[in-house]
């Protein structure tokens, strides 16, 4: 009887784990549709954007500040071509304060990648009004050796941990 109960628990854990990983893959795919993702070697401009502190009273403000740091920093970056610098600088000049972007910058986060502090993940989502600025931003990131990722961002740490736990569970049974 106890063996049957244990096997039921193992089967349930396995099923929930597989479902969780399937959902994670779907979420990453949808995130890839909704957001632009670029993996870029560490750079002082990116470090400044990554250092933006969360604002508990207004969680969206952190995204606006990260966007502002990226745009202003890359608009003067030595490696960014003049054409992209102009687009970014023109955009920055038209914004009096980051809060003015609340309706057009939906998401912007800059953070180190899992397992490699020298690699930075830049993700953003903007409305169609800022499409040309987003294209210029991706080109600017490419000019500092960034690589645009398609079909969603890389797996998260928790997704990798869940996959490893399931692999170990499968090996033990």
Sole residue written with tokens 């049974």: 173
Whole-angstrom distance, CA of residue 49 vs CA of residue 37: 15
Q: How high is the pLDDT of residue 3? A: 66
Residue 101, classed as helix, strand or coil, is helix
pTM of the model: 0.76
What residue ranges do the domains of the chain occupy? 1-34+154-173, 36-151
Query: How much is the mean pLDDT over the chain?
Result: 88
Q: What is the DSSP letter of 144?
A: T
pLDDT score of 1 more than 60: no
Residue 56, classed as helix, strand or coil, is coil
Whole-angstrom distance, CA of residue 100 vs CA of residue 105: 9
Q: H-type helices in the chain, by residue range?
A: 2-34, 44-50, 59-74, 82-93, 131-143, 157-172
Angle at 150 between CA 82 and CA 41, to 5 degrees: 55
Residue 37, classed as helix, strand or coil, is strand
Over the stretch 106-150, which tens digit does the pLDDT of each residue have? 999 999 987 788 999 999 999 999 999 999 999 999 999 999 987
Assess contact for 143 and 84: CB atoms under 8 A.
Answer: yes
């Amino acid at each position: 009887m106890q063996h049957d109960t244990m096997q039921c628990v193992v089967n349930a854990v396995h099923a929930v784990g597989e479902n969780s990983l399937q959902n994670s893959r779907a979420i990453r795919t949808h995130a890839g549709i909704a957001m632009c993702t670029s993996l870029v070697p560490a750079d002082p401009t990116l470090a400044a954007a990554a250092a933006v502190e969360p604002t508990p009273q207004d969680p969206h403000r952190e995204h606006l500040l990260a966007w502002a740091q990226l745009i202003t920093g890359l608009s003067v970056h030595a490696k960014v071509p003049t054409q992209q610098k102009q687009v970014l600088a023109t955009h920055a000049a038209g914004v009096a304060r980051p809060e003015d972007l609340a309706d057009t910058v939906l998401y912007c986060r800059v953070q180190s990648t899992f397992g490699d502090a020298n690699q930075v993940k830049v993700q953003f989502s903007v409305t169609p009004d800022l499409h040309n600025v987003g294209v210029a931003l991706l080109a600017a990131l490419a000019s500092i050796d960034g690589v645009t990722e398609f079909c969603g961002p890389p797996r998260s740490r928790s997704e990798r941990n869940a996959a490893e736990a399931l692999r170990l569970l499968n090996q033990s049974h």
